[in-house]
Amino acid sequence: MLRMGAIVLLFALPSFHAHARVHKSSDWASQQFDAAEELREALNGRPARERGRAEYQRVVNAYRRIYFAAPASGKAAAAVVAEAEVMVEMGRQFHDEKILRNAIRKYEFLRHEYPGSEQRVDALFTIGEIYKDDLNDPDQARETFSEFVQRYPKSRQVDDARKAIENVEQDATKTKEDRAAKDSSLDDESADDSSDHSDEPARVTGIRYWSSPDYTRIAIDLESDVKYQSQRIENPDRVYFDLVGTKLASTLVGKSFDVNDGFLKQIRVGQFQSDRTRIVLEVDSLSEYDAFLLSNPTRLVIDVHGKKVPRTEVAKTVAPPAPGKTTQTAAIKSTGPKKIIVNPDDDDSDTASTPADQPEVKQASAKISVPATTKTSSGKTRRKAAAPEPDIHEAQPTANGDRSLIRALGLKIGRIVIDPGHGGHDTGTIGPNGLLEKDLVLEVGRRLGKLLESRLGADVVYTRSDDTFIPLETRTAIANQEQADLFVSIHANSSNDPDARGVETYYLNFTSSPEALEVAARENAVSDKSIHELQDLVKKIALKEKIEESKEFASDVQHALHSGLSVKSAGIRDRGVKKAPFIVLIGANMPSILAEISFVSNPTDERKLRTSDYRQKIAESLYRGISKYVSGLSGVKVASKIEKGQGQ
C-alpha cells in the first residue's frame, strides 16, 4: 500500500546481496558497528546547536559501509536501522524534508532486503510516524498505519497504530475547521496568533544504559530541559518517570527493551499523555535510585542500585550469542553505552541493542609498545605488561588512624581506570599559545598507564585512548562495568589570572567552597554550566566508606604531584586536596579522584607542558601517588590473576 513512487524507487535500488563487491567477515562487521556506535555516541554528546551536517553524514557513512561490505552479517540489518535513525535525527535537526524522505526510503530498503528481520515491523510503524509527525502528510500516514494494522494484527503496537489513524483523522477534521474559521476572519490579524509553536513538546530522542554488578545507569536523551516526576511502585517492583512537556521521537514509539542484568528487567517507554512521556523501569529488587538532569545536551540520568549479582551470573547475562544466532536481547555488555536501535517483533519479543565500543584501528593507545594485548568483557583494549611479584602485606590505617572496611578485609588493587578528560569537540582549556587540555591529558594518561602496568603490575583501562568525546556520565559507567578498583580522572586547570599556578586533587563530596564549585562547574559543564539537583544527588550517593578512601587516595596523589613537580619548577603551588561535586566522579563504586595537573592558562607552565620531559614528570608523580596509596592497602592483584579470577 506504499505509494507507487516509493515502490519504483525501492525496486530501482540495485539488488543489495547480489551486487556487493566485497564481502567482509562477521567479525569485521561487528568491529565496524562498534566503531559506528562510538561515533554516534560522540555526536549525541555534543550540544544540538554544534552538530553539523558533516558530523551526521560521517555517522551515516559509518553504518552504511557495514551492510554494503557485509550484507549477510548479523550487524547488517541493525546498521540499516541505525543509519535510518540518524538520518531522521539529521532531518529534524536541519528541518530538511529531503533527508526525512531518504530516511523513509532507508526503512523501506530494510523491509525489502531483510524481510526476515525483526526490525521490519517497527520500520513500517516508524515510517507512519515520520509521515504524521515530521512531514505533515496525513494521507500517507493513514495509509501506512492501515497497512501496519493489516499486516501485523498481533503486534503489541497495533493499538498504537489504530490510535494514530484516529489522531490523523481528528487532525484532518480540525485542520478543515481551522481553515474555515480562518477564511471567515481574514481581516482579524490575531487569527494567526494560535500558530505559535513555542509551546511544542520537547522530543525524547534516545535511551542508553550501562550495566555493572553493582548498579545500572540509564540515560534518557532529550531535545531540551524538562521537568520530571518519579515514583516507586511495589508488587511488582518498578519505578516510573514522567517527563512533562515531552513527546517520544518516532523511532521510540511503543518500544520496550529487555535488559535482565540483575537490577533492571525491562525499560518501557510510552506516550502517557499528549505532552507527557512515561519511562517505566521494571526492577528485580530496588534499594534506592537517583536521578539528575544534565544539560548541553540535555539528558536525564538514572542510577538504580539493588541486590548485587554474583560475577558468574553477570558473565552469563552479558555473554554474546552463539555464532549464527540472532541477537534478540539487550544483554551485550559494553564499555560504552548501549544505543538502543533494534526493535521488537510482531508480538512481545525481546529487543536487541548493540555495544558502543571503540573504533577499529583508531585507538591511540594501541601505539604504545607493550608485550601483549587482551580484550575486556566489554571490548575495551587492555594491555598486559610483565609485572613484578605482588607485595602482599597487612593494610595500614589511613592518615587519620582509621582502618576502613576495605583495609580490614585486605582488599587489593587490581584494575585501574584512567580517564583523560575532555576529548573530541570538547577541547577543555586552551592555553594562551594554543595548547589544548584534551591533548595534554591524553598523553599524560598514556604515560601513566604504562608506568602502572610495568611497575605496579596493575590492569589498566582507559575511558578514551584517542581524540574521542566521551560524555561525563559514561566515564564512571565504564569504570563500574570494568569492575575497577581505582578511578583517576586527569585534567588541567584554568584561571582568569594568568599568573595562577599549582596542582590540586579532588574527591567527590558536597562542598560550599565557591572556588571548588567554580572548578567543578567548569569541568562538569563541558560547554555550558547547567546542572540540576546536583548537591542533593551527591549527598545521596556519597557513601562514607568510599569518600574516606577517596580522600586518602587524593591526599597521596596530591602530595606526590606537588613534590614531584616543584623540584624543577619553583613556584608550583600546593593547592591541596579538595572536595567537589564532579559529574565525572558521580556513581563510581570505587575510590575515585580528579587531578588538576597544572594551569594551562599560565604562559610559563604552558611552555613546560608542551615538552615530553615535563609530561613524563607529571606521569611519574601521579604514579608515585597511586603507588603510595596502594602500598597502604594489602597489595596489588596482578593483571594475570585478575583475568583468571574473572574468567576473562
DSSP 195-258: G--TTPPEEEEEEEEEE-SSEEEEEEEESS--EEEEEEETTTTEEEEEEETEEE-GGGTT-EEE
pLDDT of 107 reads 95
CB 598 within 8 A of CB 618: yes
Whole-angstrom distance, CA of residue 301 vs CA of residue 126? 26
User: For position 403, what pLDDT does the model report?
Assistant: 56
Residue 507's DSSP bridge partners are 579, 593
Hey, what amino acid is at 152?
Y
Q: What are phi and psi of 104, to 5 degrees?
A: -60, -45
Residue 312 has pLDDT above 50, yes or no: no
149-188 pLDDT per residue, tens: 999 998 877 888 898 898 888 877 766 666 656 555 544 5
Q: Please state which of the ranges 157-171, 240-254, 298-312, 519-533 shows the lowest mean pLDDT.
A: 519-533
Would you give the distance in Å from CA 190 to the centre of its chain?
A: 46
pLDDT at 3: 46
Asked if 503 and 549 touch (Cβ cutoff 8 Å), the reply is no
Q: Can you read off the three cell numbers belonging to residue 149?
A: 494494522
DSSP, collapsed to helix, strand or coil, labels residue 273 as: strand
Contact present, 81 and 342 (Cβ < 8 Å): yes
Distances from the Cα of 571 to the Cα of 81, 161, 493, angstroms: 57, 69, 16
Residue among 365, 389, 562, 519 nearest 448 (CA): 365
- How big is the CA angle at 37 (ends 584 and 84), to the nearest 5 degrees? 130
Q: Which of 379-388, 446-455, 522-531 has the highest mean pLDDT?
A: 446-455
Banded pLDDT at 401 (limits 50, 70, 90): low
Q: Is the pLDDT of residue 321 over 80?
A: no
Query: Does 610 score more than 80 pLDDT?
Result: yes
309 has pLDDT over 80? no
Between CA 540 and CA 290 the distance in angstroms is 8
CA 59 to CA 503: how far, in whole Å? 39
State the average pLDDT for the chain: 74
Quick one: CA torsion of 449, 451, 457, 460, rounded to 10 degrees? 0
The 3-state DSSP class for residue 149 equals helix
- The span from the CA of 388 to the CA of 454, in Å, is 8
Give the burial string for 43-70 (b: 16+ CB within 10 Å, else e): bbbbeeeebeeebbebbbebbbbbbbbb
269 near 221, Cβ under 8 Å?
no
What's the sign of the alpha-carbon dihedral 436, 441, 444, 450? negative
pLDDT the model gives residue 158: 85
Q: For residue 536, what is its C-alpha cell?
A: 542533593
C-alpha 401: how far from its chain's center?
Answer: 39
* Least confident among 9-18, 31-40, 133-142, 505-514: 9-18
Q: What pLDDT score does 339 carry?
A: 35
The yes-or-no verdict on residue 603 having pLDDT over 80 is yes
Single-letter residue type at 472? L
* Minimum mean pLDDT range among 123-132, 299-308, 592-601: 299-308
CA-to-CA distance for 554 and 593, rounded, in angstroms? 6
69: cell is 561490505
Which pLDDT tens digit goes with each residue over 619-645? 999 999 999 888 877 566 654 444 444
Q: What percent of the chain has pLDDT over 90?
A: 32
d(CA 459, CA 442): 18
Spell out the residues 6+ positions from residue 89 whose beta carbon is closer than 8 angstroms to its own: 56, 205, 249
For 534, counting Cβ atoms within 10 Å of its Cβ (0-12 exposed, 13-18 middle, 19+ buried), the class is buried
Model confidence over 440-458: pLDDT tens digits?
999 999 999 999 999 888 8
Q: Cα separation of 228 and 246, whole Å?
A: 10
| Res. 235 pLDDT band, cuts 50 70 90 | confident
Contacts for 25 with CB less than 8 Å, ≥ 6 apart = 70, 73
Q: What value does the CA radius of gyration of the chain take, rounded to a whole number of Å?
A: 26
* Contact call for residues 537 and 524 (beta carbons, < 8 A): no
Q: What is the pLDDT of residues 555-586, one digit of tens each?
A: 999 999 999 998 877 788 999 998 877 776 77
Compute how many other C-beta atoms are within 10 angstroms of the C-beta atom of residue 505.
28
Put simply, whether the predicted model's pTM sits higher than 0.75 gets the answer no
Pairing of strands 486-493, 415-420: parallel
Average pLDDT, integer, range 263-288: 82
* Residue in the structure block whose three cell numbers are 555516541: 41
pLDDT in tens, 10-34: 434 444 444 445 578 999 999 999 8
Which DSSP symbol is given to 286? E
The residue to which cell 489504530 is assigned:
162
Are the CB atoms for 465 and 381 separated by under 8 Å? yes
The answer to whether the beta carbons of residues 255 and 206 sit under 8 Å apart is no
Over 80: is that where the pLDDT of 397 sits?
A: no
pLDDT of residue 145: 94
Dig out the grid coordinates for 17 from the structure: 546481496
- The domains located in the chain, with CATH, are 4-179 (1.25.40.10), 202-355 (2.60.40.3500), 403-646 (3.40.630.40)
Which of 149-153, 272-276, 466-470, 636-640 is the least confident region?
636-640
Q: Please report the pLDDT score of residue 369 as a whole number.
A: 25
Residue-level pLDDT at 416: 92
Span of 49-63, 215-229, 237-251, 517-531 with lowest mean pLDDT: 517-531
**Contact, 139 vs 113, CB < 8 A?**
no
Helix (H, G, I), strand (E, B) or coil at 375: strand
The amino acid occupying position 239 is: V
What's the confidence (pLDDT) of residue 402?
64
For residue 146, the surrounding DSSP H or E stretch is helix 138-151
Model confidence at 113, pLDDT cuts 50, 70, 90, reads very high
